[in-house]
C-alpha cells in the first residue's frame, strides 16, 4: 500500500492538495497554538494530530506556538505540560518553541500603524458601556463617543496606555471597522487592553497586552503559516483575521480554515469548567484519570497510539457532532488487546486451600506474557497450597450457564491445574471465608486423563507470594451524555465515578511501570498509578474493561 493510500483524507487535505498542485504553495507550514491557561484535553489532541499530521505527511513544518496574551490566567506549569503532551503523542515541532509574546514589539508597531491609518482608536468607555454600545444579534451597535478622536490624539493616548498611565479597564485600543456589521466580531473589536500583571516570558516589560484576534493572525503571518487551522467557533473571526492582515504592512497573508471541534459524550471540553473541577477539588488534579485531559488519559493507561487512532477515526469535518465514549474506549481496548502483557490480579479475594497439596508446597509455573506474541517472552508465576480467587468466581450452587467454580464441581485455574470445590468455611455473618478444594496433579497444561470436560477457567494468585494492591475502578465522571448543556454541570457529577477496592496481584508486578498498561486476565486493563503507586504500596488504575459495557447498557 502506498503512502498516499494510508493517509486520511478530509476537506483540509483536499485544499492543500489543490494549493500544491496550483503552485500557490511549495511547502506546507502549520502551527499548533494553545493558550497556556490549562492542561490539554482530548479535543486538543484532535488539533495536534491534524496540524502535526499534515506537516508530517506533506513533508512540511509545524510550529508549537503558545498564545500567551493573557498573563493573568497563564502559568509556566501549563507551558511545560503542553510541551510534554505534544511530545508524548509522538510529534515534534519545528525549531524552538514559539510564543506570541516573542512578537509583542512587532504587534505594538502594527497597532501604531493601524492608528496612523485612522483604523484604530483609544476608547474610554467602561466595559459595561462597551457591552451596551455593541448591540445585539438583531440590533446594530452604535459608535463610541471617542471613535472620532484624531490620529495624533490616539497615538498619544496609546502611548499613555503603554506607559501605564491608565488604570485597568479605563482605556483600550479598538479597531475602527463597522458598528453596524451583522458580525459582532467586526463591531470595533478590542485590539489591546491594560493588565498590570507580570508575564511568564516578558516579566514586567508590558502593561498592555494584545487580544487573541489581533495577535493570532499576525503571528501566523510572521511565521509564514500557509494553512491556519482552527475550530468552527472562530468562523466569524476569519473576517477580522483577514481585515487585520489586509490593513497592515506585512508580506504574508495566511488563510484560515475551520473544522468541527471534538465533543465527547460524558465529558467536558471547556478548559474553564475543567479548571473549576480542579479548583473545587471535585477531581484530584488536571491529571485525574477521570479527566479528558491528555495527562489524565495517560495516567489512566491510554497509549499515545490509541489517541492518535481515535483522532484518525473520528475524522475532520465541518459538521459538529457528539462522539460516543465507546469510540474512544474501542481504540484503547484494541491497542491493549494487541500490545499489553498479561498478568493476574484478584480484586475481590477469597482464600482457597488445596487440601491434597502438602503444607509449604511451592512450584513455579512458566507462563507466556502474551498468548499471541511469543516474542514478548514469559513470566514466572508461583503456585502454592493456598491461593486467592475472585469472590464472584465461586458459588455454592449454580445453573449450567455458570462456568466458574461451584461446590462439588471442577474448574481450571488459568495456566495451572484443575481444582474441585469440596466444602466452605463461613464467618458469623454467613460470608464465605475459605473454600477447600482438591486438585488434579495430572492436569497442568492438559485435560484430565479420563476425558472429563472442564469448561470454566478462572484467575488466581498464590496467597504466600501475592502482593497487596489497591485498585481504582473508574467510570465516567458525569452521569449524563452532555454535561456541558446542564444549567449546573457540577450537578451531573457521577458519584460512582471512582470505586477503590483492595486485593492482590502476582509478584511479577512488583516493579510495574506507571502508565504502562497490563491486561489483568478476566478483569480488564490496568496500569500502575503515576502519582501514588510504589513498590511499598501498589496502586492500579483501571484503564478500560475487557468488553464494551456501553452495548450491554443499551440492550
Burial (CB < 10 A; 0-12, 13-18, 19+), residue 382, is middle
Residues of each annotated binding site: 35-37, 41-47, 67, 212, 231, 261-262, 269-271
- Beta carbons within 8 Å of 480's beta carbon, 6+ residues apart: 266, 486, 492
Give the integer Cα–Cα distance in Å for 170 and 108.
19
Residue 15 near residue 256 (C-beta atoms within 8 A):
no
Enclosing H/E stretch for 353: strand 349-354
Question: Which of 7, 35, 147, 409 is the catalytic position?
Answer: 35
**Treating both helix axes as pointing N-terminal to C-terminal, what angle do 212-222 and 104-116 enclose, rounded to 10 degrees?**
110
Give the integer Cα–Cα distance in Å for 24 and 18.
8
Residue 219 near residue 256 (C-beta atoms within 8 A):
no
Question: Which of 98, 149, 238, 271 is the catalytic position?
Answer: 271
Confirm whether 35 is a catalytic residue: yes
Give the integer Cα–Cα distance in Å for 60 and 56.
6
Give the integer Cα–Cα distance in Å for 87 and 82.
9
Contacts of 477-482 with C-beta under 8 Å, sequence gap 24+, read 477/266, 477/267, 477/268, 477/277, 477/283, 477/290, 477/291, 478/266, 478/267, 478/268, 479/266, 480/266, 481/265, 481/266, 481/322, 482/265, 482/322
Nearest to residue 161, comparing CAs of 214, 208, 126, 197?
Answer: 208
Give the three-class secondary structure for 57: helix
- Beta carbons within 8 Å of 213's beta carbon, 6+ residues apart: 185, 189, 191, 237, 240, 241, 244
Residues of each annotated binding site for ATP: 35-37, 41-47, 231, 261-262, 269-271
Confirm whether 165 is a catalytic residue: no
DSSP type of residue 113: H
Residue 170 near residue 31 (C-beta atoms within 8 A):
no
Residue 86 near residue 41 (C-beta atoms within 8 A):
no
**Treating both helix axes as pointing N-terminal to C-terminal, what angle do 42-57 and 304-314 enclose, rounded to 10 degrees?**
80
Query: Three cell numbers at 80?
Result: 511545560
Confirm whether 271 is a catalytic residue: yes
Work out the angle at residue 223's Cα, subtended by the Cα atoms of residues 258 and 100, and round it to the nearest 5 degrees: 80
Question: Which of 73, 239, 255, 261 is the catalytic position?
Answer: 261
Task: Give the residue ranges of DSSP H helices in 139-293.
Answer: 151-162, 212-222, 237-246, 271-279
Residues of each annotated binding site for L-glutamine: 67, 212
Tell me the catalytic residues: 35, 261, 271
Amino acid at each position: 500500500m502506498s503512502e498516499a493510500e494510508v493517509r486520511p483524507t478530509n476537506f483540509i487535505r483536499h485544499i492543500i492538495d489543490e494549493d500544491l498542485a496550483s503552485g500557490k504553495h511549495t511547502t506546507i507550514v502549520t502551527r499548533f497554538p494553545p493558550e497556556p491557561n490549562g492542561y490539554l484535553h482530548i479535543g486538543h489532541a484532535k488539533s495536534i494530530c491534524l496540524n502535526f499530521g499534515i506537516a508530517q505527511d506533506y513533508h512540511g513544518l509545524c510550529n508549537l506556538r503558545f498564545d500567551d496574551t493573557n498573563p493573568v490566567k497563564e502559568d509556566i506549569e501549563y507551558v511545560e505540560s503542553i510541551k510534554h503532551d505534544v511530545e508524548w503523542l509522538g510529534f515534534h515541532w519545528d525549531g524552538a518553541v514559539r510564543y506570541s509574546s516573542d512578537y509583542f514589539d512587532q504587534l505594538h508597531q502594527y497597532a501604531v500603524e493601524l492608528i496612523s491609518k485612522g483604523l484604530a482608536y483609544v476608547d474610554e468607555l467602561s466595559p459595561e458601556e462597551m457591552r451596551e454600545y455593541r448591540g445585539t444579534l438583531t440590533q446594530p451597535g452604535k459608535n463610541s463617543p471617542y471613535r472620532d478622536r484624531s490620529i495624533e490624539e490616539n497615538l498619544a493616548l496609546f502611548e499613555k496606555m503603554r506607559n501605564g498611565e491608565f488604570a485597568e479597564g479605563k482605556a483600550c485600543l479598538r479597531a475602527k471597522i463597522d458598528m453596524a456589521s451583522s458580525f459582532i466580531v467586526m463591531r470595533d473589536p478590542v485590539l489591546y487592553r491594560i493588565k498590570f500583571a507580570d508575564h511568564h516570558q516578558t516579566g514586567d516589560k508590558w502593561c498592555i497586552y494584545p487580544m487573541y484576534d489581533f495577535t493570532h493572525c499576525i503571528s501566523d503571518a510572521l511565521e509564514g503559516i500557509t494553512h491556519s487551522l482552527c475550530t468552527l467557533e472562530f468562523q466569524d473571526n476569519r473576517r477580522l483575521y483577514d481585515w487585520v492582515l489586509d490593513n497592515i504592512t506585512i508580506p504574508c497573508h495566511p488563510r484560515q480554515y475551520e473544522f468541527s471541534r471534538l465533543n465527547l459524550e460524558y465529558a467536558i471540553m471547556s478548559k474553564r469548567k475543567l479548571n473549576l473541577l480542579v479548583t473545587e477539588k471535585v477531581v484530584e488534579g488536571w491529571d485525574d484519570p477521570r479527566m479528558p485531559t491528555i495527562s489524565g488519559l495517560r495516567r489512566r493507561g491510554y497509549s499515545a497510539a490509541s489517541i492518535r487512532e481515535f483522532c484518525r477515526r473520528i475524522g475532520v469535518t465541518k459538521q459538529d457532532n457528539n462522539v460516543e465514549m465507546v469510540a474512544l474506549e474501542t481504540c484503547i481496548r484494541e491497542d491493549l488487546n494487541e500490545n499489553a502483557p498479561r498478568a493476574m490480579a484478584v480484586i475481590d479475594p477469597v482464600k482457597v486451600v488445596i487440601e491434597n497439596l502438602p503444607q509449604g508446597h511451592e512450584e513455579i509455573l512458566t507462563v507466556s506474557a502474551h498468548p499471541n506474541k511469543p516474542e514478548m517472552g514469559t513470566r514466572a508465576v508461583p503456585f502454592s497450597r493456598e491461593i486467592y480467587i475472585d469472590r464472584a468466581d465461586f458459588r455454592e450452587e449454580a445453573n449450567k450457564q455458570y462456568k466458574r467454580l461451584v461446590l462439588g464441581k471442577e474448574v481450571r485455574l488459568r495456566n495451572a491445574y484443575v481444582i474441585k470445590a469440596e466444602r466452605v468455611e463461613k464467618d458469623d455473618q454467613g460470608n464465605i471465608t475459605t473454600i477447600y478444594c482438591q486438585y488434579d496433579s495430572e492436569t497442568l497444561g492438559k485435560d484430565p486423563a479420563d476425558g472429563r470436560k472442564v469448561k470454566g477457567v478462572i484467575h488466581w494468585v498464590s496467597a504466600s507470594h501475592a502482593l497487596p494492591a489497591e485498585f481504582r475502578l473508574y467510570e465516567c465522571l458525569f452521569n449524563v451524555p452532555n454535561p456541558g448543556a446542564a444549567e449546573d454541570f457540577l450537578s451531573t457529577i457521577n458519584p460512582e465515578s471512582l470505586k477503590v477496592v483492595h486485593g492482590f496481584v502476582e509478584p511479577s508486578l512488583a516493579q510495574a511501570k506507571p502508565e504502562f498498561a497490563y491486561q489483568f486476565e478476566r478483569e480488564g486493563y490496568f496500569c500502575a498509578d503515576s502519582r501514588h503507586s510504589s513498590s511499598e504500596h501498589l496502586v492500579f488504575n483501571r484503564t478500560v474493561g475487557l468488553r464494551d459495557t456501553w452495548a450491554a447498557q443499551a440492550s
